[in-house]
Amino acid sequence: MTTLLVAKQILLTIYSKYEVYITPLLKFLLALVTLSLINSRLGYMETINRLTVVLIVALMCSFMPTNFIVFMGALFVLLHLYTFSLECAAVVGVGFLLLFLLYLRFSPKDALVVVLLPVCFLMRIPYVIPLSMGLIGTPASAVSVACGVIVYYMIHYVTQNTTVIAAMADEETAAKFRFIIDGLLKNREMVVTIAAFALTVVIVYLLRRMSVDYAWTIAMTAGSVVNIMVLLVGDLIFDINQSLISVILGTIVAFLITLILQFFVFYVDYSRTEKVQFEDDEYYYYVKAVPKVTVARPDKKVKQINSARSGETRGTRPAHR
């Protein structure tokens, strides 16, 4: 454990020292992965479905605020859908606009969630986002999590029904609109997922703020159980054909990832907990102090030996008579 704590301290020191370079690099990688996944899932417009274009846009995103990645991702999606079907682009564009207004109203600082959640869905570990946001976010983070879920399911629905949409004649514009809108509004799997993730965020947030030992671990465990239960109950009620094994395994993987997050953000020693009481003219204060687990970075001392001087010393040693 000491080795892990030393490694953690080294990583934090490196990040604080080179933050001005590391942060743009992380933004660049996030934008690169996001735009590449969009192109791989859609890819209808050849102009932007090129590595050079993705690299240029990702480089732009590295020097812009995080919300710019969300904007460019939405723009790529709309351009691809416009090439495929004007009706799809119109419906998804209105949906993006409503989500953007809702997201700016409640959780404008959670831009990474809107970007990372669809990416995590494609990596089959989406449950890590609600657990993580319950630990480091606020109940308002449930809104950004819901926006990320809706973005993923909108893209997923279009990609799953490309054949049906393309088969509709051009004169069936109203039928296309109805088909797309009904498919999005009546997507029971999306509704159940939003409910599960939002409830998980709130439960984890409330439990991790309790003044009990191992509150974060309790919160993560309870959030994982709530996530599984809501998804499975939703599957039984709405018959959305959720895979029990994938839900359980995905939640376990998410729990392990959030343990790593806890190690870097909130790693304390409950065995040295202290309770302090003091007062002023108006209040009595009862404080529970839990020390953080830290370890000093070992300093390496290099002892230099001057071989030349030592040789001179040996050479001038008086001879025995």
Q: Which tens digits make up the pLDDT trace of 158-174?
A: 888 888 887 776 657 77
What's the 3-state SS for the chain?
Answer: CHHHHHHHHHHHHHHHHCHHHHHHHHHHHHHHHHHHHHHHHCCCCCCCCCHHHHHHHHHHHHCCCCHHHHHHHHHHHHHHHHHHCHHHHHHHHHHHHHHHHHHHHHCCCCHHHHHHHHHHHHCCCCCHHHHHHHHHCCCCHHHHHHHHHHHHHHHHHHHHCHHHHHHCCCCCHHHHHHHHHHHHHCCHHHHHHHHHHHHHHHHHHHHHCCCCCCHHHHHHHHHHHHHHHHHHHHHHHHCCCCCHHHHHHHHHHHHHHHHHHHHHHCCECHHHCEEEEEECCCCEEEEEECCECCCCCCCCCCCCCCHHHHHHHHHCCCCCC
pLDDT at res. 27 = 92
- Of the candidates 105, 71, 116, 114, the one whose C-alpha atom is nearest the C-alpha of residue 261 is 116
- Of the candidates 154, 173, 37, 31, the one whose C-alpha atom is nearest the C-alpha of residue 96 is 154
CA angle 260, 264, 269 (to 5 degrees): 100
> What is the pTM assigned to this prediction?
0.83
Residues of the chain with pLDDT under 50: 320-321
Largest CA distance in the chain: 118
Cα separation, 247 vs 220, whole angstroms: 16
Cα separation, 73 vs 89, whole angstroms: 14
Give me the half-sphere count of Cα atoms (radius 13 Å) on the Cβ side of residue 244: 5
Cα separation, 172 vs 72, whole angstroms: 31
pLDDT at res. 311 = 54
pLDDT at res. 321 = 44
Q: Which amino acid is at 145?
A: V
Strand partners for 278: 285
pLDDT at res. 239 = 81
